[in-house]
Amino acid sequence: MPPAVPLVDATDVIRLVGPGAFDRAKALVRERRVTGVRFDADALVLEGMVQGSEPEPYEASVLLARTRGDNARPADSSCTCYVGSECKHVAAVLLQSNAETIARQQKPVRTGSASTASSNWKDALDALAGSPAGDRTPATTMGLLFELRERTRSQSARWGAPKSRAGTAASAAAGATFRLGVRPVTQSATGNWVRGDLTWTTLPFSLNRLGASPEQHRWFGQFQALHKSARDAYVPGDSEWLFLDEFASPCSGRCWPRGHGSASRS
pTM of the predicted protein model: 0.48
pLDDT given at position 253:
53
Name the average pLDDT for the chain.
77
Of 129, 155, 177, the residue that ends a domain is 129
pLDDT in tens, 129-153: 544 444 445 678 899 999 998 877 6
Q: Using CA atoms, how far apart are residues 88 and 28, in angstroms rounded to an integer?
A: 8
Residue type, 171: S
Of 128, 132, 139, 124, residue with least CA distance to 213: 139
The 3-state DSSP class for residue 42 equals coil
**In terms of domains, do 100 and 194 share one?**
no
| Domain region containing 189 | 142-265
**In terms of domains, do 228 and 166 share one?**
yes
Is 2 a domain residue? no
pLDDT given at position 115:
47
Arithmetic mean of pLDDT, 65-91: 91
**In terms of domains, do 96 and 168 share one?**
no
Is 136 a domain residue? no
| pLDDT score of 250 more than 70 | no
**In terms of domains, do 51 and 93 share one?**
yes
Which among 53-62, 115-124, 164-173 has the top mean pLDDT? 53-62
Of 71, 101, 129, the residue that ends a domain is 129
Is 181 a domain residue? yes
Name the strand (E) or helix (H) holding 24. Answer: helix 19-30
**In terms of domains, do 103 and 158 share one?**
no
Q: Specify the number of domains making up the chain.
A: 2
- For residues 203 and 153, which has the higher predicted lDDT (pLDDT)? 203
Of 129, 150, 181, the residue that ends a domain is 129
Q: Using CA atoms, how far apart are residues 153 and 243, in angstroms rounded to an integer?
A: 15
| Tally of CB atoms within 10 A around 101 | 19
**In terms of domains, do 260 and 147 share one?**
yes
User: What percentage of residues in the chain have a pLDDT greater than 90?
Assistant: 26
Of 57-61, 77-81, 233-237, the one with minimum mean pLDDT is: 233-237
